[in-house]
Chains A and B, each alone.
Chain A
């Protein structure tokens, strides 16, 4: 006679269990592992495990000179490489009290904004894809290609540019740069309407994102959730407004603030930001003054002993660079306060009680770039 094994029947709705999302999960956009504790399909809590792509950039910086460090910052948030470069350049210029030419400030600001649009385009395509809309991916990448072409023409690289140097730029912009940017703005003003038609107004997308993953303003400040994700909760944290650098003080643009702090508002913030970025570029592109593309710098850059801090607004939020210098050509200690790292810390808090499928949408709306978290 066959032996009957009496296994205790467990109710999956009541028992808590864990699953690993990642490190190789498409929705984490890189190598991030989320250990999700579930009851049924409701997320009870979540523990992010980072470090899969930790390269010790802060340690490497202690061995490198400042112009070399610029190349490392590209590899942190590779989607806002120019803005990361800008942070280090501004820090060195501030420490040495170098006044960079106006031309440099204009070009840097325009390129930062182009970089922000390119980054948000890639976010938009991957967000759409996370929600199941593969069309978005092709549309977003098609338009991002136009910006990368402009970048390639002017500085020869498409992703990791290292175009800014302390004191100025690596080389002058290509003669076609201004025309290329203007053509792009004209093109993208039309195309961004398609983005709204495809995804923003899509009822399935709205149902899946409205009221999901709500972050209050107090929590956003406490968790240090910054950038478009923080502004969706009403936390006014735009470094371009509060601590202007470049020529942002000469441009007329709005800091977009939301109220609800849910996934849909975080989505809307970035859509509005792309339009604001285009507005900034339009105001500056025709007014680039003539002049040198770099200030005169010494061959060996040594920062005076002391501490320096520089904040810039990267595509995902405020990037802070903290340097302790002992007067040598390499920093004594260099710390990057990366936006994604703090944004990730709030993920556990905002995803409690949502369904596991919504976790993908929340993750997409926080727009994390893993090399920036792990550094």
Chain B
């Protein structure tokens, strides 16, 4: 499916998705409440068949936290990027997609560990790299690095 048709298709599934200009991937900002339904459709609809979640990242944009999903279909070879924005920095959460793409389980744990975004219904949401009693989430822009590990 080419990008123009794919754009129509996504907007058909989620009418309030916001299209974002990007040179490389077709990118949409999805309202958090609509993400799970869309994720199921992306995986199961045969003309979409986004079966490979090749990257899942979190970004701290200061005004909000962002989860970025990069999808590829191994059948149709088309690609898609989705973003979900979390406004609440303290208790913000996103629905997990780890039951749809199993690779998300580790990546979501990583995002929770380093950026502090919670994932609802995640099977095992623990810190993955840092210790359980670590305070704060290092990749947030307001994180204070008291022991000065990074700046040397």
* B71 nearest CB across to chain A (Å): 11
Query: Roughly how many angstroms separate A58 CA and B53 CA in the complex, as a whole number?
Result: 20
A308 at the interface (CB under 8 A from B): yes
What string of 1s and 0s marks CB contacts (under 8 Å) between B17-35 and chain A?
0000011110100000000
Query: Roughly how many angstroms separate A212 CA and B139 CA in the complex, as a whole number?
Result: 39
Interface residues on A, range: 35 or more
* CB under 8 Å from chain B, chain A span 217-248: 218-219, 221-224, 235-237, 242
Cβ A50 vs Cβ B128 within 8 A: yes
Query: Roughly how many angstroms separate A306 CA and B127 CA in the complex, as a whole number?
Result: 29
Cβ A333 vs Cβ B59 within 8 A: yes
* A54 nearest CB across to chain B (Å): 4
* A206 nearest CB across to chain B (Å): 29
Query: Roughly how many angstroms separate A307 CA and B23 CA in the complex, as a whole number?
Result: 9
With contacts A59-B138, A374-B129 taken as known, whether A335 is within 8 angstroms of B57 at the C-beta atoms is: yes
Identify A56's interface contact among B74, B110, B150, CB under 8 A: B150
Interface of A is mostly: mixed
Cβ A344 vs Cβ B106 within 8 A: yes
Cβ A221 vs Cβ B74 within 8 A: yes
Cβ B105 vs Cβ A345 within 8 A: yes
B102 at the interface (CB under 8 A from A): yes
* CB under 8 Å from chain B, chain A span 322-375: 322, 324, 332-333, 335, 337, 341-342, 344-346, 349, 374-375
B149 at the interface (CB under 8 A from A): yes
B64 at the interface (CB under 8 A from A): no
Query: Roughly how many angstroms separate A108 CA and B16 CA in the complex, as a whole number?
Result: 45
Which residues on the A side are within 8 Å of B23 (C-beta)? Answer: 306
* B130 nearest CB across to chain A (Å): 6
Count the B residues whose beta carbon is within 8 Å of the partner chain — how many? 36
Query: Roughly how many angstroms separate A320 CA and B56 CA in the complex, as a whole number?
Result: 10
Residue of chain B at shortest CB distance from A318: B54
Query: Roughly how many angstroms separate A256 CA and B114 CA in the complex, as a whole number?
Result: 36
Q: How many A-B residue pairs have CB under 8 A?
A: 89
Cβ A51 vs Cβ B128 within 8 A: yes
Which residues on the A side are within 8 Å of B103 (C-beta)? Answer: 222-224, 342, 345
Which residues on the B side are within 8 Å of A374 (C-beta)? Answer: 129
Identify A322's interface contact among B27, B68, B130, B151, CB under 8 A: B68
A60 at the interface (CB under 8 A from B): yes
Identify A308's interface contact among B24, B51, B60, CB under 8 A: B24
* B93 nearest CB across to chain A (Å): 20
Identify A309's interface contact among B24, B51, B56, B138, CB under 8 A: B24
Cβ A224 vs Cβ B54 within 8 A: yes
Cβ A224 vs Cβ B52 within 8 A: yes
What string of 1s and 0s marks CB contacts (under 8 Å) between A181-225 and chain B?
000000000000000000000000000000000000011011110
Query: Which residue among B106, B107, B114 has the maximum number of chain A CB atoms within 10 Å of its CB?
Result: B106
Which residues on the A side are within 8 Å of B77 (C-beta)? Answer: 242
What string of 1s and 0s marks CB contacts (under 8 Å) between B59-92 and chain A?
1100000001010001001000000000000000
Which residues on the B side are within 8 Å of A58 (C-beta)? Answer: 114, 139
B55 at the interface (CB under 8 A from A): yes
Cβ A309 vs Cβ B70 within 8 A: yes
Known A223-B103, A346-B102; 18 more pairs at CB < 8 Å: A51-B129, A59-B139, A219-B102, A222-B101, A222-B102, A224-B52, A224-B101, A237-B74, A306-B22, A309-B24, A309-B25, A320-B55, A322-B70, A324-B59, A333-B57, A333-B139, A335-B55, A341-B110
**Which residues of A line the B interface, CB within 8 A?**
50-51, 54, 56, 58-60, 63, 218-219, 221-224, 235-237, 242, 306-309, 311, 318, 320, 322, 324, 332-333, 335, 337, 341-342, 344-346, 349, 374-375
The 5 closest A-B pairs by CB, nearest first: A224-B103, A51-B129, A54-B129, A335-B57, A345-B106
